[in-house]
Amino acid sequence: MYTATVSSQRRVTLPKAFLDAMKVKPGDKLAVELIGQEIVLQKVTNISDLAGCLNKYAIYPIPTDEEIDKAKTEWLLQNYKVDTLDDVKD
């Protein structure tokens, strides 16, 4: 087990052996998650890997695709003052 010290700027230097084992190099991104009292780090190989990682922390319900489509339709109908979407030109 390694011990790391938290600096006055709340930074932690990770042991080189850990970074080497994870093949992490300067500039790489790490996803950070708190599970109970443990901090878990995962190497992010692509920014799209982060998609949705914060969903569980949302303080509002995440709308479904159907709810989004309905809201867009209502907005178009209201703002273009038409009776149907067929009346809206691209």
pLDDT tens-digit series, residues 33-82: 998 899 999 888 777 777 777 777 777 777 899 999 899 888 888 877 76
The amino acid at 27: G
Q: Please, are residues 49 and 31 in contact by the beta-carbon 8 Å criterion?
A: yes
Question: Same structural domain for residues 9 and 36?
Answer: yes
Q: pLDDT value at position 85?
A: 67
Geometric angle at alpha carbon 79, from 75 and 82, rounded to 5°: 100
2 within 8 A of 15, measured Cβ to Cβ: yes
Residues 13 and 48 in one domain: yes
Residue 1 has pLDDT above 90, yes or no: no
* Residues paired with residue 30 on neighbouring β-strands, in sequence order: 43
For residues 3 and 37, state if they share a domain: yes
Confidence (pTM) = 0.47
d(CA 68, CA 39): 34
Q: Which domain holds residue 8?
A: 1-55
